[in-house]
Structure 1
């Protein structure tokens, strides 16, 4: 039993590109040369995967997606995914960029993390491109691919601009222009809550801690979570703990007891019960099933 590999941007490309903060590849070239990892793995970088033509499956953090082009996938660092494309004539584009790619370009250093495309519990992990929008998105990706091939000293900045154009074009397509101010404020509060969860889930398992940090009551936090996401605050916290538990379970270097301790459970049996209640499978069965 071996743990899932963790890839940095240079692991997926040729050595001469290892110092670059962004790499862009034609999907069919990666398939032909078998550069794509053949098993589940993690990234230390962001990834945008555009599939214009092709068939297969894409499992992201243990959720399986049937590939139905044209589609764009957005992957954040740390996510576990497994891409299986069965059509060698697939067309598309794979873009990897480092976590600091935008930090020297934008005043808001966490701008990308805060996008619903990449933030935890994000509303978008993929975008199914409507037929009447295909040309618009194809043009953006063509600009990205063309500037990447040019020997231009401004290429990286132009790539940043085109990626931002892509991100905000998607967000514009999925945004609700009729949304009232109250809903917008609630969404902003949910984002702050989710950011706190991301920072504290391993030690703080209950809504009251987060409500106190947000200077609201636990009942109100629960209300807005349910109103915006359809999940209670407790469910959001538990889902994040379970996701990390699953990620750790795929790494054979950690025992279930060690994982339990890392996630703030003093009692190993309670962690096992918690995991089984929220996953309908025991930690050991999940690990064995994953590696089967």
Structure 2
């Protein structure tokens, strides 16, 4: 069973209920028996200012270096190991906190880099980006260390901080940054998350979004470079990996749970994507994700 942690599991004077926390990474108080890997119920943006670590998000491994932002979204499998002299900041928040005083309830969905960290979990900062983001982070830190914190001030600063990050990413991106398309893609991703085990039809998702299948495919390709069918397949594959590594279920049961019509078909499809059969993948990866910080 993979544990799911809340913000309140990391006690801090610089937290606001179970909604927000900004801490120096080296001062972060972790649960006494923190388990790796685990999942979060919140968003986290790590900014390492010195040191290195190896972070794994849903089986994408990244060596995190100084002045790199690293993004983790709710529900993603997170493993951190090989940490060396790590210093920096850990910023965690929930959707409800960000939207405390937002008139646009799709505000969070417009940040394309959030909920997309399975594909792009980090962003390297240059000197100009550091100069742009540092003052906002400092303002947030100054507010959270006050005895009487203002959630409204912090939420507004967080909103500015996320917008600046998105703008910096957009400047380097070749993908579609139209907020309307990003919002629609986020809605599509949520639908896929809720239905991928039973629905692989593009028409099903198009109907839920009140769009044509062609238009949904256009939006998906514009934002991610991938067709809808590939996004659905990737989500099923991710779940197969999670279950193979972190459950005791028989491979046939996993195939059944994910909607494959028979064991051999599941095995062939998995090998086509990963280059290993499910059994080979389980054997190869089982020990790798049992590390700790």
TM-score range for the pair, normalised by the shorter chain length: 0.7 to 0.9
**Is the 8 Å Cα contact of residues 121 and 194 (structure 1) preserved in structure 2?**
no
Q: Name the SS for the 1:203 alignment partner.
A: coil
User: Residue 230 of structure 1 corresponds to which residue in structure 2?
Assistant: 225
Q: Under a length normalisation based on structure 1, what TM-score does the superposition of the two structures give?
A: 0.81
The structure with higher relative contact order (CA 8 Å, sep 6+) is 2
User: Residue 286 of structure 2 corresponds to which residue in structure 1?
Assistant: 291
User: Residue 71 of structure 1 corresponds to which residue in structure 2?
Assistant: 68
Matched, 1:200 2:195: yes
Residue 111 of structure 1 is aligned with which of 101, 107, 111?
Answer: 107
Matched, 1:87 2:84: yes
Question: Using the alignment, how far apart are the partners of 1:235 and 1:99 within structure 2?
Answer: 27
Matched, 1:132 2:155: no
User: Residue 145 of structure 1 corresponds to which residue in structure 2?
Assistant: 141
User: Residue 282 of structure 1 corresponds to which residue in structure 2?
Assistant: 277
Question: Using the alignment, how far apart are the partners of 2:285 and 2:46 within structure 1?
Answer: 24
User: Residue 51 of structure 1 corresponds to which residue in structure 2?
Assistant: 48
Write out per-residue CA displacement over residues 186-237 of structure 1, whole angstroms, 9 at most, x where no aligned residue: 5555444334323321211133333444555545544554455332222111
CA pair 116-242 structure 1, distance change in 2 beyond 3 A: same
Q: Name the SS for the 1:100 alignment partner.
A: helix
Q: Under a length normalisation based on structure 2, what TM-score does the superposition of the two structures give?
A: 0.80
Residue 22 of structure 1 is aligned with which of 20, 23, 34?
Answer: 20
Question: Using the alignment, how far apart are the partners of 1:46 and 1:180 within structure 2?
Answer: 23
How many pairs are equivalent? Answer: 287
Residue 112 of structure 1 deviates from its aligned partner by 2.2
Question: Using the alignment, how far apart are the partners of 1:81 and 1:144 within structure 2?
Answer: 25
Q: Name the SS for the 1:91 alignment partner.
A: strand
Q: How do residues 178-189 of structure 1 correspond to structure 2 at under 5 angstroms?
A: 189=184
User: Residue 272 of structure 1 corresponds to which residue in structure 2?
Assistant: 267
Question: Using the alignment, how far apart are the partners of 1:79 and 1:182 within structure 2?
Answer: 23
**Is the 8 Å Cα contact of residues 73 and 117 (structure 2) preserved in structure 1?**
no
Task: Answer with 14-23 or 50-59: which moved more.
Answer: 14-23
CA pair 73-224 structure 1, distance change in 2 beyond 3 A: same
Unpaired stretches in structure 2, ≥5 consecutive residues: 288-293
Question: Using the alignment, how far apart are the partners of 2:31 and 2:181 within structure 1?
Answer: 45
User: Residue 170 of structure 1 corresponds to which residue in structure 2?
Assistant: 165
